[in-house]
Amino acid sequence: MKVIYILWLRQLKRYVRSKARIIGSLGQPLLFFLALGFGFGPIYTKAGGGSYIQFLAPGIIIMSILFTATFSGIEVLWDRQFGFLKETLVAPVSRLRIILGRIFGGATVAVVQGLIVFGLCLAVGFRPVSYSLLPLALVYMILMAITFTALGTAIASFLEDMQGFQIIINFLVMPMFFLSGALFPLQNLPKPVVIISALNPLAYGVDGLRGTLINMVHFGLVTDLCVLLAMAAFLTLAGAFLFSRIEV
């Protein structure tokens, strides 16, 4: 337990100490929110969708969680490059505990980042329909964060260097984001897009968060919760397995 805690604490300390990283990773979601929110807002309203800012905010919160969590997972690569990974690999502790510490640490950072973006959205004019469902919203955020930190860790376990990382971002994370319904509703889309979205774990996170914050659901809150729980558990196990096979 102590080992998991100390690795969790390490991630948090690193996060709090890198002011540049905090500000840098808030920039992108904020830019998306302002540019798309105010740019497409009038069209969205004209098409009868209501307030686009309201619709977009949960998607932007998810976006910040997605990117922070995936990056945190990929930090395994960073540790490999900077050598600290070896220090943990020769320690007399199981790889499972190391990976759990890393995943919880990364996920915590991602949730904190998501909450900051949530605050920024409130400042720009976003208003949740009810505050009573906020705890449930937090649950979705935590599950998303765990899922994608685990995914990042799993990917980093078989990548050799940072070059491969850019490919993952371009061909996996970005498409997942665009096909998640974060930026536009999934209703009335071409069939293939709907099918792909249904296979995208991120779509369930977006749906869950949108359901709890602005009472607008596509898959259903229970489905979202079940899918996310299953994905978080599966990816944590997969990440732990892949990580345990790392040889230096």
Partner 1 sequence: MKDSNIITVQDLTKTFNGLVAVDHISFSVKAGEIFAFLGPNGAGKSTTINMLTTLLRPTSGKILMNGHDPATSPHKVRQSFGIVFQDPSLDEDLTAYENMEYHGILYGVPKDTRSVRIEELLRIVELWDRRDDFVKKFSGGMKRRLEIARGLLHHPNILFLDEPTLGLDPQTRNLIWNYIKGLNKSETITVFFTTHYMEEAERVASRIAIIDHGKIIVQGTHQELKAQTGTDSLESAFIALTGRDIREEESSNLERMRMRRRIFVRRHR
- H, E, C per residue of 176-234: HHHCCCCCCCCCCCCHHHHHHHHCCHHHHHHHHHHHHHHCCCCCCHHHHHHHHHHHHHH
User: In this complex, which beta carbon is closest to partner 1, that of residue 25 or of residue 88?
Assistant: 88
The angle at the Cα of 108, spanning 104 to 109, to the nearest 5 degrees, equals: 120
What minimum distance in Å lies between the beta carbon of 8 and partner 1? 11
The amino acid that residue 170 corresponds to is N
Q: Which of 25, 243, 84 is nearest to 152 (CA)?
A: 243
User: In this complex, which beta carbon is closest to partner 1, that of residue 87 or of residue 123?
Assistant: 87
User: In this complex, which beta carbon is closest to partner 1, that of residue 90 or of residue 123?
Assistant: 90
Other CB atoms within 10 A of residue 161 CB: 9
- Where would I find the beta strands (DSSP E) of the chain? none
How far apart, in whole angstroms, are the C-alpha atoms of residue 102 and residue 203?
25
User: In this complex, which beta carbon is closest to partner 1, that of residue 2 or of residue 191?
Assistant: 2
What minimum distance in Å lies between the beta carbon of 167 and partner 1? 14
Which parts of this chain interact with partner 1 (CB under 8 A)? 2-3, 6, 10, 13-14, 17-18, 80-93, 160-162, 247-248
What minimum distance in Å lies between the beta carbon of 117 and partner 1? 24
What minimum distance in Å lies between the beta carbon of 173 and partner 1? 22
What minimum distance in Å lies between the beta carbon of 82 and partner 1? 7
Report residue 220 as tokens.
């259903």
Contact 184, 102 (CB under 8 A): no
> DSSP secondary-structure letter at 125?
T
What minimum distance in Å lies between the beta carbon of 90 and partner 1? 6
Contact 210, 58 (CB under 8 A): yes
How far apart, in whole angstroms, are the C-alpha atoms of residue 55 and residue 44?
10
User: In this complex, which beta carbon is closest to partner 1, that of residue 82 or of residue 171?
Assistant: 82
User: In this complex, which beta carbon is closest to partner 1, that of residue 118 or of residue 243?
Assistant: 243
How far apart, in whole angstroms, are the C-alpha atoms of residue 151 and residue 137?
21
What minimum distance in Å lies between the beta carbon of 88 and partner 1? 7
Contact 228, 208 (CB under 8 A): yes
User: In this complex, which beta carbon is closest to partner 1, that of residue 168 or of residue 221?
Assistant: 168
Q: Is 163 helix (H, G, I), strand (E, B) or coil?
A: helix
